[in-house]
């Protein structure tokens, strides 16, 4: 990790930062948060104007941290606007004898990341502005191009999959120009014939004994299948078990898996950004064999959900979520 030093240029930026908040009463820090999405995006955009780091990358890092904190016991869930968690070893410095150090000079002495972003003389890892200022300065120390940011993320997280996920989130935010992307959708349109029940954990025998990791939604051949979320198309193609399948990474860091399709939406490609309700493919009965195998079971959509916690990924039961999305559209 590059050593962060506070020089005259950073001090000047800090003063501009403080003044910009002082003269922006509608978004002054410390006020009651009426619009958390709007306030959060305002902070990201403010940092972009000061450092040149695209706001959507800051939003993507924050969202990634927010998602893993929900499923990790070693990461505290933060109460403020910003969810980014910088561990004490990084914030104060690995050799710092005081893991709770908030003095900028001693943190700098021990090569810690922590900076004072709100001008109160403290580098507080619980303060939204201090944390966001620190992360933005860290990224800018590597440069401002996408490749520079990816290198910075690799050096910070030491995990290629995390770098990819954050980059995907950034592309989603960039396309829609907002972080207020909470809508979700049932994968089959209202008014079409379909049926499903909880099939999580049911035994499956083809290809070896295993458990069923998903919910089967039975429908007629060719029934359109829709994306349930705003997301990034990670995978398209043939799988020996799932047949023609699509894998989409949502902003909740859940990998949504759509399998046994008859085919894909013609215009869709890996790397595309999709939104809730967008058609991604069509119900079929593909799978359980070499590419093109069809008809070994009735036509249906196999729908799976896999959560990533920054270390590993595992499947969980999608049935309660499908029921919720189905109720919400009524």
DSSP state of 209: S
Q: Where are the domains of the chain?
A: 8-176, 194-328
Region 113-119: mean pLDDT is 94
Region 259-280: mean pLDDT is 97
Region 89-93: mean pLDDT is 96
| pLDDT value, residue 211 | 72
- Inter-axis angle of helices 36-51 and 8-22, nearest 10: 140
Q: If you average pLDDT over each of 7-21, 50-64, 196-210, which comes out highest?
A: 50-64
| pLDDT value, residue 35 | 87
| pLDDT value, residue 31 | 52
Tell me the per-residue pLDDT of 301-328, one tens digit each, with 9 for 90 and over: 999 999 999 999 999 999 999 999 999 9
Region 65-92: mean pLDDT is 93
Region 92-109: mean pLDDT is 95
In this prediction, residue 87 has a pLDDT band, given cuts at 50, 70 and 90, of: very high
Q: Please tell me the distance from the alpha carbon of residue 289 to that of residue 138, in angstroms, as a whole number.
A: 49
In this prediction, residue 20 has a pLDDT band, given cuts at 50, 70 and 90, of: very low
CA atoms within 13 A of residue 228's CA, in its CB half-sphere: 25
CA distances from 195 to 55, 59, 80 (A): 42, 38, 42
Q: Is the pLDDT of residue 58 over 90?
A: yes
- Size (the chain), residues: 330
Mean of per-residue pLDDT scores for the chain: 89
| pLDDT value, residue 6 | 43
| pLDDT value, residue 213 | 84
Round the CA-based radius of gyration of the chain to a whole number and report it. Answer: 23
Contact 86, 134 (CB under 8 A): yes
* Ordered DSSP codes for 32-70: --S-HHHHHHHHHHHHHHHH---HHHHHHHHHHHHHHHT
Region 58-80: mean pLDDT is 93
Tell me the per-residue pLDDT of 139-193, one tens digit each, with 9 for 90 and over: 999 999 999 999 999 999 999 999 999 999 999 999 999 999 999 999 999 999 9
| pLDDT value, residue 171 | 98
| pLDDT value, residue 14 | 54
pTM, full prediction: 0.89
| pLDDT value, residue 13 | 54
| pLDDT value, residue 77 | 82
| pLDDT value, residue 18 | 52
CA distances from 128 to 51, 74, 160 (A): 17, 20, 26
Homologous superfamily, domain 194-328: Glucose Permease (Domain IIA) (2.70.70.10)
Q: Using H for helix, E for strand and C for coil, what is the string for 8-42?
A: HHHHHHHHHHHHHHHCCHHHCCCCCCCCHHHHHHH
| pLDDT value, residue 12 | 42
Q: Looking up tokens 């008859």, which residue turns up?
A: 262
Q: Please tell me the distance from the alpha carbon of residue 145 to that of residue 298, in angstroms, as a whole number.
A: 49
Please give the share of the chain, as a percent, with pLDDT higher than 90: 80
Please give the share of the chain, as a percent, with pLDDT higher than 70: 88
């Amino acid at each position: 990790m590059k050593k962060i030093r506070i020089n005259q240029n950073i001090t000047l930026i800090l003063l501009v930062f403080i003044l910009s908040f002082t003269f922006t009463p509608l978004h002054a820090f410390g006020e009651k948060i009426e619009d958390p999405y709007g306030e959060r995006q305002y902070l990201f955009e403010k940092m972009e104007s000061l450092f040149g780091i695209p706001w959507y990358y800051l939003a993507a890092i924050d969202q990634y941290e927010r998602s893993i904190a929900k499923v990790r016991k070693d990461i505290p869930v933060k109460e403020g606007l910003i969810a980014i968690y910088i561990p004490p070893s990084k914030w104060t410095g690995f050799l710092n004898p005081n893991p709770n150090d908030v003095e900028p000079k001693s943190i700098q002495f021990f090569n810690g990341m922590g900076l004072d972003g709100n001008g109160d003389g403290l580098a507080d890892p619980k303060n939204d502005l201090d944390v966001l200022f620190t992360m933005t300065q860290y990224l800018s120390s590597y440069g401002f191009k996408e490749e520079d940011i990816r290198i910075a993320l690799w050096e910070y997280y030491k995990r290629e999959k995390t770098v990819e996920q954050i980059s995907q989130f950034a592309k989603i935010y960039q396309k829609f120009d907002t972080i207020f992307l909470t809508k979700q959708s049932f994968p089959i349109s209202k008014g079409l014939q379909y049926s499903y029940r909880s099939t999580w954990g049911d035994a499956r025998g083809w290809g070896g004994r295993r458990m069923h990791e998903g919910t089967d939604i039975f429908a007629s051949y060719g029934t359109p299948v829709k994306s349930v979320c705003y997301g990034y198309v990670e995978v398209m193609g043939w799988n020996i078990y799932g047949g023609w399948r699509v894998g989409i990474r949502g902003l909740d860091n859940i990998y949504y898996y759509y399998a046994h399709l008859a085919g894909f939406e013609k215009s869709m490609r890996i790397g595309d950004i999709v939104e809730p309700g967008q058609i991604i493919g069509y119900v079929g009965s593909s799978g359980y064999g070499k590419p093109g195998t069809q008809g070994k079971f009735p036509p249906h959509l196999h729908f799976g959900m896999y959560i990533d916690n920054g270390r590993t990924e595992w499947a969980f039961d999608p049935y309660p979520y499908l029921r919720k999305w189905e109720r919400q559209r009524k």
